[in-house]
A and B are shown apart, each in its own frame.
Chain A
Amino acid sequence: MEMKTRVVGDVHILEIAGRFDTNTVPPVAAWLEQVTAAPKARVLVNLAETTFVDSTALATLVQALKRCQQVQGDLCVCSLRRPVYMIFELTRLDKAFNIFVDEEHALQSLNS
C-alpha cells in the first residue's frame, strides 16, 4: 500500500494505492486522525488505486467520518473501483458515506 497526501484549497486529499487492510491501516489512521482534528475539517479519500479494503480499513474511514462530523466538517470518498464499491454497497456503507465518481465532483461538493 502507498499513500499520498496533498491539499487542494482547504480540502485534505488522501490517495491510497494497493491493499488497504489491517496491515496497512496504521499510517492512514494516523494521518486521518491528524487532519480531522481541525474545526470544519474537509477530507477527500481517493480510492482510485485501491484494490482491496477490509473491515479494519472501513472502520478507519468510518471513524474519520464521525470525527469530521463532530467538528462540523465533512469526509467524502471518490473513484472507487468495482470490487471496492461492491464492499461499500454490500455493507450499506454507501448510506453512510458521500461517494463520488471522481475527484472533481467530490471537490465541488466539499467546496459548496
Chain B
Amino acid sequence: MLVALLSSQYQRFAAIAEAWLAQGASAFGVFQDGHPLIYWPSSHRLARPSLSVPITQDEQPIADLRVAGVTGMAAELRLRADAALISYLLQLEHDLQCMTADLVTSQDQQLALYRLSQSMRDHVTVHETLRSLVAEGMRMTKSHAGFAAFIPKHGQDPLLVKSSESFLSDEMAWRIYWHTRSLEHAVSLPDPDGDFPLLPGIEDLLAVPIRVRGSIMAGMAMANRAGGFGTPDMKLMQAIADQASAQIERMLLYQEMFDQAKLRTEMDLARRVQLDLLPRQLPQIAGLDIYATSRPAYQVGGDFFDFIVNPGRPFVFSLGDVTGKGLSAALLMTMTRSAIHSKAQFMPFPTPEAVMRQSNEDLYNDFTRVGVFATVFVGQYELGSQRLIYANAGHAPVIYRPFDGPAQLLRADSTAIGILPVSHCRNQTLNMRPGDVLVVATDGFSDARNAHDETFDIERLIDLIDQLAPRTAREIADAMFETVDRFGGGRNQDDDQTLVVIKGAAS
C-alpha cells in the first residue's frame, strides 16, 4: 500500500524532498526492509542516513523515512512530523480501500441476491428452490460444496439437495442440518469451542438454519471455501437464507393453493358424475311409495342408487357405496352401477342373488387391483306381490319396519362386492304390505358426527325410523336428513348421505 501511496502522491513527496534538500540535507528517501523505495537526489543512495524515523501502520513500523547531511533536534522533530503525516495518509488510504471493498462487496451481494430471487421466481416446487439455493449459494460464497434441506410439516418425505461433491454424504448433510437446527443459529466449522467434529472431506463449513412460517423447517450449508469463511460470508449466507425462507413460504402457499384448486376441481367433477347419473325421476310402482335421494359430501364418496323399470318385468332398485373418495370413487361407482343395471335389465330371469353374484364376478378382479369394494343392496318387487326379494352384499344400515312391529336392522348375507372371488348372496324375502317400511341408507347417516365426536349410530337410526314409520316415504327421508343435520350441529358432512325409502301402499 505504501508503494501505491508513493506513486499516487509522488509530486507531494518530491516537494517535501526539495524542502529538505533546500534546508541543507544531502539526500531524502523512503526505505522498506533496508531497500530504497524512493529517494532524492537520484544520485544519492542514502546508504548512511544521518536521521531515520519509522513510518507506521496500525502502530507497527513498516518502513523508514531517511535523510542524510543534517542532524540535530529540530531536523529530527521535522522528520518525525513528516513520518507521522505519511503514516496518517497511509491509514486514510487503508480506510478508503476498505470502504471501497465493502461497497463493491455489498453491490456484488445485492446483485447476486437479485439474481437469486430472479432465478427462484420461476420455480414451482420446493425441490427446485433448494437446487437453485445450493447452486447460487456456492457461486456467491465461492464454495466447492453445499447442500440445502427441507423437512415438511405434514409427514411428507424430507428433501435434501446436495452439490455433486462426492465427499458430502446424505448422512453427513443431515448431521450438520440437525446440529444447526438444535442450536437455532448459524454454525461455522471448524469450531474450536464446540464439540461438533469436522467431518471427512470438509475443510471449513458454514451452515445456517432457515425459518419457514416461524419455525426452523429448512437449512443450508456451504463447505470448502478457499481461505475459509469470514464475517462477510456469514452475513451473505444469512441474506441468502432470508431470501430462501421467503421463497419457500411462497412455494408452500402456491402448492397449497394448487392442491386445493386441484381437489376442488376433482370434487366438482366427481359430484357432477355422481349426481348426473342418479335417476332424475322417482318410479311410480303400484303398491309402493318410493323416495330416494343422495347428498354428496365435499369430499365426494362413491354412493349411488338406481331404479330399473321395464314393462312386463319386476321392478328392481339398487343402492351402493364404493369405498374411497373423489373422482376415483365416482368412476368406480359408475362401473358398479352399470354392472348391476345391465344385469338387472338384460338377464333372462334376474333375481337379486343372480345380479349380485354376476356383478361380483365381473368386478372382483378390477376391484382387487385398485383395492376397493362396494357394499350393495339390490331389491326386486313383483307387481301386486306385496313381497320384496332382496340380496345384501355387505351393506349397512338397512332397516325394516313392519307395520305391526318394531324396526329391525337387516344384516347383510354376504361380503361386499370385490372382497371374495365368489359372492355368497342369497335371495331374502320381506313383506311389503301397506305400512311396511324399508330404509336402505349409506353409512353417511350412521357415521355422521357431532361436535363431541360422537357418531349418530345405527341404534339412533332404528329408533328414528320407529318414530317416522307412519309418514310417507318422502317425509321419512326428509326427517332423517333433518335429524342427522341437527345432531351434527352445523358440522361439515364427512361422507355422502344416500337413501332409498320404500313403503308398502295400497295398490
Hey, which bits of chain A sit against chain B, CB under 8 A?
A: 19, 22, 27, 52, 54-56, 58-60, 62-63, 66, 83, 86-87, 89-93, 95-96
CB distance from A36 to the nearest CB of B (A): 11
The answer to whether A22 and B325 touch across the interface, beta carbons within 8 angstroms, is: yes
Give bound CA distance, A55 to B321, whole Å.
9
The answer to whether B415 and A96 touch across the interface, beta carbons within 8 angstroms, is: yes
Give A89's nearest chain B residue, CB to CB.
Answer: B411
Say whether, besides A59-B373, A91-B375, A91-B412, A96 and B420 are in contact (CB < 8 Å): yes
Interface residues of B in 354-412 (CB under 8 A from A): 368, 371-373, 375, 394-397, 409, 411-412
The answer to whether the Cβ of B351 comes within 8 Å of any Cβ in the partner chain is no
Which residues of chain B have C-beta atoms less than 8 A from A90's C-beta? Answer: 396-397, 409, 411-412, 458
CB distance from A108 to the nearest CB of B (A): 25
The answer to whether the Cβ of B419 comes within 8 Å of any Cβ in the partner chain is yes
Give bound CA distance, A22 to B372, whole Å.
13
The answer to whether the Cβ of B483 comes within 8 Å of any Cβ in the partner chain is no
The answer to whether A92 and B443 touch across the interface, beta carbons within 8 angstroms, is: no
The answer to whether B371 and A92 touch across the interface, beta carbons within 8 angstroms, is: no
CB distance from B368 to the nearest CB of A (A): 6
The answer to whether the Cβ of B136 comes within 8 Å of any Cβ in the partner chain is no
Say whether, besides A52-B455, A54-B447, A91 and B323 are in contact (CB < 8 Å): no
Give bound CA distance, A101 to B237, whole Å.
60
Say whether, besides A27-B155, A59-B371, A59-B372, A93 and B394 are in contact (CB < 8 Å): yes
The answer to whether A92 and B411 touch across the interface, beta carbons within 8 angstroms, is: yes
Which residues of chain A have C-beta atoms less than 8 A from B414's C-beta? Answer: 92, 95
Which residues of chain A have C-beta atoms less than 8 A from B306's C-beta? Answer: none
Give bound CA distance, A54 to B444, whole Å.
10
A–B Cβ pairs within 8 angstroms, 29 of them: A22-B299, A22-B494, A52-B447, A52-B455, A54-B443, A54-B495, A55-B321, A55-B443, A56-B324, A59-B371, A62-B371, A63-B372, A83-B457, A89-B411, A90-B396, A90-B458, A91-B394, A91-B395, A91-B396, A92-B394, A92-B412, A92-B413, A92-B415, A92-B416, A93-B415, A93-B416, A95-B414, A95-B420, A96-B420
Give bound CA distance, A87 to B495, whole Å.
17
The answer to whether the Cβ of B424 comes within 8 Å of any Cβ in the partner chain is yes
Give bound CA distance, A82 to B324, whole Å.
25
Give bound CA distance, A77 to B372, whole Å.
19
Give bound CA distance, A63 to B394, whole Å.
16
From A55, A58, A89, A95, name the one whose CB has the most chain B CB atoms within 10 angstroms.
A55
Hey, which bits of chain B sit against chain A, CB under 8 A?
A: 155, 299, 321, 323-325, 368, 371-373, 375, 394-397, 409, 411-416, 419-420, 424, 443, 447, 453, 455, 457-458, 494-495
Which residues of chain B have C-beta atoms less than 8 A from A58's C-beta? Answer: 323, 373
Which residues of chain A have C-beta atoms less than 8 A from B155's C-beta? Answer: 27
Which residues of chain B have C-beta atoms less than 8 A from A86's C-beta? Answer: 458
Which residues of chain B have C-beta atoms less than 8 A from A95's C-beta? Answer: 414-415, 420, 424
The answer to whether A96 and B411 touch across the interface, beta carbons within 8 angstroms, is: no
Give bound CA distance, A26 to B413, whole Å.
30
From A58, A62, A93, name the one whose CB has the most chain B CB atoms within 10 angstroms.
A62
User: Sorted from nearest, which 9 A-B pairs have the closest CB atoms?
Assistant: A63-B371, A59-B323, A91-B394, A90-B396, A92-B412, A92-B415, A55-B323, A96-B419, A96-B415
CB distance from A73 to the nearest CB of B (A): 16
The answer to whether A62 and B419 touch across the interface, beta carbons within 8 angstroms, is: yes
Give A19's nearest chain B residue, CB to CB.
Answer: B453
Which residues of chain A have C-beta atoms less than 8 A from B409's C-beta? Answer: 90
Q: Known contacts A19-B453, A95-B424; can you find 17 more A-B pairs with CB under 8 A?
A: A22-B325, A22-B495, A27-B155, A55-B323, A55-B443, A59-B324, A59-B372, A62-B371, A62-B419, A63-B371, A90-B397, A91-B375, A91-B395, A92-B412, A92-B415, A93-B416, A95-B414
CB distance from B489 to the nearest CB of A (A): 18
CB distance from A69 to the nearest CB of B (A): 10
Give A33's nearest chain B residue, CB to CB.
Answer: B371
CB distance from A2 to the nearest CB of B (A): 14
Which residues of chain B have C-beta atoms less than 8 A from A63's C-beta? Answer: 371-372
Which residues of chain A have C-beta atoms less than 8 A from B419's C-beta? Answer: 62, 93, 96
From B321, B416, B453, B458, name the one whose CB has the most chain A CB atoms within 10 angstroms.
B416
Give bound CA distance, A52 to B449, whole Å.
12
CB distance from A93 to the nearest CB of B (A): 6
Which residues of chain B have C-beta atoms less than 8 A from A27's C-beta? Answer: 155
Give B420's nearest chain A residue, CB to CB.
Answer: A96
From A62, A83, A91, name the one whose CB has the most chain B CB atoms within 10 angstroms.
A91
Which residues of chain B have C-beta atoms less than 8 A from A89's C-beta? Answer: 411
Which residues of chain A have C-beta atoms less than 8 A from B411's C-beta? Answer: 89-90, 92
Give bound CA distance, A21 to B374, whole Å.
16
The answer to whether B424 and A62 touch across the interface, beta carbons within 8 angstroms, is: no
Give bound CA distance, A92 to B413, whole Å.
7
CB distance from B288 to the nearest CB of A (A): 25
Give bound CA distance, A60 to B420, whole Å.
15
Which residues of chain A have C-beta atoms less than 8 A from B455's C-beta? Answer: 52
The answer to whether B371 and A91 touch across the interface, beta carbons within 8 angstroms, is: no
Residue A91 contacts which of B372, B415, B424 (CB distance < 8 angstroms)?
B415
Give B370's nearest chain A residue, CB to CB.
Answer: A63
Give bound CA distance, A9 to B147, whole Å.
41
From A56, A89, A92, A96, name the one whose CB has the most chain B CB atoms within 10 angstroms.
A92
Give bound CA distance, A52 to B457, whole Å.
11
From B325, B414, B419, name the one whose CB has the most chain A CB atoms within 10 angstroms.
B419
